[in-house]
Structure 1
Amino acid sequence: MRTHDDIEEEKAVGQVIDRLAARYPQLPYAHIGDVVRSELRVFDGRPIRTYVPVLVEHEARALLRRETSGHTAG
């Protein structure tokens, strides 16, 4: 059963995906979502989830930055 915290985390992760999609418009939205969800799985089973979306965003941004280095937007 999903808790209030689970729902809030899902919303926060969706916002992470949206922010990264705006930052990396040259990448497909679905790919950014896959990267974020992959980073999220690193935290599966961890009891303290408060900062998980922030940590996930940081790691996903680093991966996407490496993917797009040398590419120009637009």
Structure 2
Amino acid sequence: MAVNDEDQQIAALVRRLAAQFPTFNTGTVEGIVAEIHRGFDGRPVRDFIPLLVERGALRRLSATG
């Protein structure tokens, strides 16, 4: 997966999660997603990173909200 594709998928993820969790402002959702995404920095295989980020963000948002 190209980095640009990954960035687009992460941006789409933020939009989906912000719509799914309207009690959180978009900045909060972006921060959570960015923090989880940074945890995968330096990993050579990038194909499933957006999915893993989504799972982590869903867990955190569900537990917090």
Q: CA RMSD in A?
A: 1.0
Following TM superposition, by how much is the alpha carbon of 1:13 offset from its aligned partner in structure 2, in angstroms?
0.1
Gaps of 5+ in 2: none
Aligned residue pair count: 65
Query: Which residue does the alignment assign to 1:45?
Result: 42
Q: Percent identity?
A: 31
Q: TM-score, normalised by structure 1?
A: 0.85
Structure number with larger C-alpha Rg: 1
Find out whether 1:9 has 2:36 as its counterpart.
no
Q: How far does the alpha carbon of each residue in 1:16-69 deviate from its partner, in whole angstroms, 9 at most, with x for none? A: 10110011011010000000000001100000000000000000010000110x
Find out whether 1:56 has 2:53 as its counterpart.
yes
Gaps of 5+ in 1: 69-74
- Residues in 2 aligned to 1:49 and 1:19: alpha-carbon distance in whole angstroms: 20
